Amino acid sequence: MAFEVRAAYSEDLKCTENNSKMHFLVRRYRPSDQEAVLTLFRAGTLEHISPLFFRAMSDPFHVVITLCLSLAGYLLRGVSILWALLLPSAWAGLIYYCCRDMYTAYVREKLGTDMQDIPGHYLSSPNNCFWVAEAQVNGRVEIWGMGAVVAKKVEGGGDGEMCGHLYRMIVSSRCRRMRLGSRITQTVIDFCKERGFSKVVLETSSIQTSALALYKKMGFKSILSHTKSGTAHWMMVLSRVTILKMEKGI
């Protein structure tokens, strides 16, 4: 296919891990990539747990609750330092559980659905695709990033109007701020243009500030925010996270 020739491009990017230039190739997914892709998917998703927890705990409302629990524990047992620490610790544990469960449940779900059969979900139609970004490290090829697109009909759009939904956009934490995310996103945009889609749509969480900055820089605009996910609503509320829907007309 003509597009596949244009999409499989390479570029030298400077990686902060070893302060040297690495030669990246963005190409179509192959079955032999499965193990590396699943490993990157798990790591790239679960790495958001700690930042989300610390941000949730620093939320003004949660800070007030923590202080109140500490004071209540201190006075509950007749000026007890132990209880002053125990109650807020239990509160922090609950918040961490919510943050962790949100991402671990998401990983479990996706590993049992689309990520279990990438070719079947992303490569069985010419309007869908899954890409990986690879680089050679010490003589061995490694997967450092990935991204996918699924074609869907535009709700309320004209007859036959289609858009591309960007999924599974992950760049290894070992090589961030090297424009690799921009390259993968641009590959998706070019793919959608090639197929005559009217726009590219994606969803990301409010904790992923780097991803949000990248998408905004590339022309995506936020059109909706919500807390609907596979996680219980009360967990989303305690985690202080929202899901942002963004789109870019093409």
| Residue 244 within a domain | yes
In which band, very low, low, confident or very high, does the pLDDT at 140 lie, cut at 50, 70 and 90?
confident
Q: Position 191: which residue type?
A: F
The reply to whether 102 falls in a domain is no
Q: Is the pLDDT of residue 174 over 70?
A: yes
pLDDT of residue 179: 87
User: Which residues lie closer than 8 Å to 112 by C-beta, 6 or more apart?
Assistant: none
Q: Please indicate, yes or no, if residue 192 is contained in any of the structural domains.
A: yes
Identify the pLDDT of residue 14: 47
Is 224 inside a domain boundary? Answer: yes
Query: What's the number of domains the chain is made of?
Result: 1
In a domain, 71, yes or no: no
Q: Burial level of 171, CB count in 10 A (0-12/13-18/19+)?
A: buried
Mean pLDDT score of the chain? 89
Q: Is residue 90 part of a domain?
A: no
Question: Within 10 Å of residue 140's Cβ, how many Cβ atoms?
Answer: 7
The residue with greater pLDDT, 176 or 142, is 142
Whichever domain contains 239, its CATH number is 3.40.630.30
Residue 80 lies in a domain: no
Provide the residue range defining the domain that includes 211. 2-48+110-249
Residue 163 domain flag: yes
Neighbouring C-beta atoms of residue 93, cutoff 10 Å: 10
Tell me the average pLDDT across 167-196.
92
Decide if pLDDT at 2 tops 70: no
